[in-house]
Structure 1
Amino acid sequence: MTYHSSANESVRLGVSRDTDLKTRTALAAFCRRNGYPYLFTEVLEPLLSGHGLVLALAVTERPWPPTGIGSQTVEAVGIAMIGTEGRAHLTPVLTDRRNATNIGLVAALTKQLLAYLRETDVPSASYLVRQGDRALERAGFAEADFQSSTEFADYLEFAAPPHKILDTLGLTALRTGDLLALDLDGGELDRLGSYHFALTAGLTAYLRDSLRHAALLPGLIDLVATLPPGGVPPGTPGPPLT
């Protein structure tokens, strides 16, 4: 039994390309509650009007009344932007502050999202990592062909097929219930914890509106579609430069 085990028993996990008004409202509240409201209003909300985003959501629901504003609370969200050639650009799982150390929940949501991408024949999933950082080498990712640039740094795409990421992280063989209960051995816990905390640390500066120091960018851009003729992508959507 871990600190988060009892709370995880009431969490509902799901993956979808479509979001209703209740879910969007809960997602907006999640971003505001955790200190980055601009992420919803400036980035996610415009993208949700299309069909390129895949959201893996962990939510809890109040017992009564079961509908209306506040009836659904987002505990964590993982995002994949489906871009050109069907490739997925990932944003690390974002958690509510109370779930910052809830590795079981993060791992279960990661498994759900990657399994969805695998089952829908997405050929690769990737992160945008600042050139020189090495956070993803042990998770099966390899440097791919594209890069994005901001005023402050170049970012390289690190990609792998979803099934390879699942296998390398050991998630293929682990049941969702065991992940939520954190029924893992020491090696599994270290591997999943290192993956989650490295990604979280890399994205923190972006979420805090400080692009200058961001080691990781959210995967909310279609790399190929934004390539100018003969050049690299002209940056990414996100916070103001500080």
Structure 2
Amino acid sequence: MTQTIRRDFFTDGNGGTRIEIFDELSDTAKAALYGFFRRAHAPHVMEEVVLPQFADGDSQIFAAVRDRPWPPWGLGARNVVGVLQTHLVSDGCWGLSPVHVADEDLTNTGLCAALYKEALETLAVDPNAEVHYLLAEGSRLADLVLRRVGFERTEDVFLTEAARYLTYRAPAGELLANLGLAETDTVDVLAGNIDDRVFELNAALHSTIYLGSRAEWAGDRVSVPSEIAQMVRGGHYNKPAGVPTGTGRFERDVLAEVAQGVREFLTEVERKELLEYVRGREPEFAAASVQRRGTDTPVVDERIRSSLVLDGLGHFESLFADRIREQLQEVRARLNHPVFPLGRIELQVTANGDRDYFGMHRDTDGGDTRELSFVYFFSAEPRRFSGGELRVFETVVEDGRIVPTDRSQTIVPRANLAVFFPSRHDHEVLPIRVPSKAFGDSRFSVTGWIHRQ
């Protein structure tokens, strides 16, 4: 039986279109791409985004091309009508640009879906490949559209000067299937010969990504918040103190070699008593200090750390020390951390108010006796703050030196959760928002350091 081609407004124009993959760029290919972005009213994108990303390596450009009939070579032979760029963010994680098209193709769903299909098929050769996007916190349309086609929202947070973003991820092969493109030939997709449901899913996805990210790539990317932001290699969206973010490749609650969580660390009665004790000592809190590497004198430096601390836990000191000792053997084993003779346990209360944070730091450089760090969250429920995630970056010891890796874990500050991790690991506290500005609504935590003898 002959298959009936379902026609739409763009079927004839797409009939002479092919998808070309650029792993390297010749002068004629560059000329064709420059011409395309000029027609798409975004000539700067070629110089500011496409070429730098391509030069980084692990990037491909998927271009929809309509060839000139004669002569079929030289400048102007390729007429690029659509562009999608992929780039490696971290091992197995890929960022995908919006599908760029000129004005006449903004609703050309077949063209956009065909480019996306070719890119996903290329990535899905690796069964572990994932596609990642950054969506601004509070996104509604983009959140609905991406989750509808199988994206998962993770707790990995990225910050720019303009907005706060959450990572959305989906396996490339599953995304291809969820979009209804896995079993359909690219020629049919270009022709629009797909059913209404598949057509609608792809149209919604591409129009949302294009419009949601337009403020970033078409305008002032520093000060204008964009609902969808581009994820770059390593996720280097800087926060206060210039801290690079993690990769978001791991489960939200527990990650074996980086950090370990213990839920219900205190009884509910103990947690409430601790909260009441701390709230009643607001006048005793002092500005937190930091100790710069190579110095012995702590200083207050809000460019690195902004928070209040209380050194005395009263009768809770012995309670925490006992609970930590009870959990220590199991936590150490789960972290695969070497056995060490237990020394003192150092404890401190931290209150993080509105716009507080703690930039990237580590609790030991190997020159002291700190082995494991400890953080216990106990703020009021329901939470009256947002943000304040603890992000822990893995480090390893090589030839006696502490060397960071690109693995990280982001931990949401849930009440009555205790987190343990090696003190040599770099870590940070992301900025906190407390709308009420009230001390009692702060992000409260008990921070501890477990020493070897």
Are residues 231 and 94 of structure 1, via their aligned partners in 2, closer, same or farther at CA, if it must alter by over 3 Å? farther
Q: Is the 8 A contact 2:113 2:189 kept in 1?
A: yes
**Are 1:112 and 2:309 an aligned pair?**
no
Structure 2 distance, partners of 1:201, 1:189, is: 18
Q: Which amino acid aligns with 2:183?
A: A
Alignment of 1:112-131 (within 5 A): 112-121=118-127, 123-131=129-137
The Cα shift of 1:120 comes to: 4.0
Greater helix share, structure number:
1
The Cα shift of 1:231 comes to: 4.7
Q: Which residue of 1 aligns with 2:79?
A: 73
**Are 1:161 and 2:167 an aligned pair?**
no
The Cα shift of 1:210 comes to: 3.9
Q: Which residue of 2 aligns with 1:214?
A: 226
For structure 2, the residue ranges without an aligned partner over 5 or more in a row are 1-6, 238-243, 246-359, 361-425, 431-453
Q: Which amino acid aligns with 2:191?
A: A
Q: Is the 8 A contact 1:11 1:59 kept in 2?
A: yes
The Cα shift of 1:175 comes to: 1.9
Q: Which residue of 2 aligns with 1:238?
A: none
Q: Secondary structure at the match of 1:65?
A: coil
**Are 1:27 and 2:33 an aligned pair?**
yes
Q: Which residue of 1 aligns with 2:209?
A: 199
Q: Secondary structure at the match of 1:214?
A: coil
Are residues 136 and 54 of structure 1, via their aligned partners in 2, closer, same or farther at CA, if it must alter by over 3 Å? same
Q: Which moved more, 1:138-147 or 1:102-111?
A: 138-147
**Are 1:183 and 2:193 an aligned pair?**
yes
Q: Secondary structure at the match of 1:83?
A: strand
Q: Is the 8 A contact 1:89 1:222 kept in 2?
A: no
Q: Secondary structure at the match of 2:57?
A: coil
Match of 1:96 among 93, 102, 126: 102
Q: TM-score, normalised by structure 1?
A: 0.87
Q: Which residue of 2 aligns with 1:10?
A: 16
Q: Which residue of 2 aligns with 1:239?
A: none
The Cα shift of 1:118 comes to: 0.4
Q: Which residue of 2 aligns with 1:230?
A: 427
For structure 1, the residue ranges without an aligned partner over 5 or more in a row are 234-242
Q: Which amino acid aligns with 1:230?
A: H
Structure 2 distance, partners of 1:216, 1:138, is: 16
Q: Secondary structure at the match of 2:162?
A: coil
Q: Is the 8 A contact 2:61 2:83 kept in 1?
A: yes
Q: Secondary structure at the match of 2:28?
A: helix
Structure 1 distance, partners of 2:135, 2:194, is: 29
Are residues 38 and 220 of structure 1, via their aligned partners in 2, closer, same or farther at CA, if it must alter by over 3 Å? farther
1:33-77 C-alpha deviation (Å, 9 max, x unpaired): 212222111222222224221211111121223222222121111
Are residues 224 and 201 of structure 1, via their aligned partners in 2, closer, same or farther at CA, if it must alter by over 3 Å? closer
Are residues 83 and 33 of structure 1, via their aligned partners in 2, closer, same or farther at CA, if it must alter by over 3 Å? same
Q: Secondary structure at the match of 1:43?
A: helix
State, as a whole percentage, how many aligned pairs show the same letter: 27
Are residues 13 and 169 of structure 1, via their aligned partners in 2, closer, same or farther at CA, if it must alter by over 3 Å? same
Are residues 80 and 40 of structure 1, via their aligned partners in 2, closer, same or farther at CA, if it must alter by over 3 Å? same
The structure that has the greater radius of gyration is 2
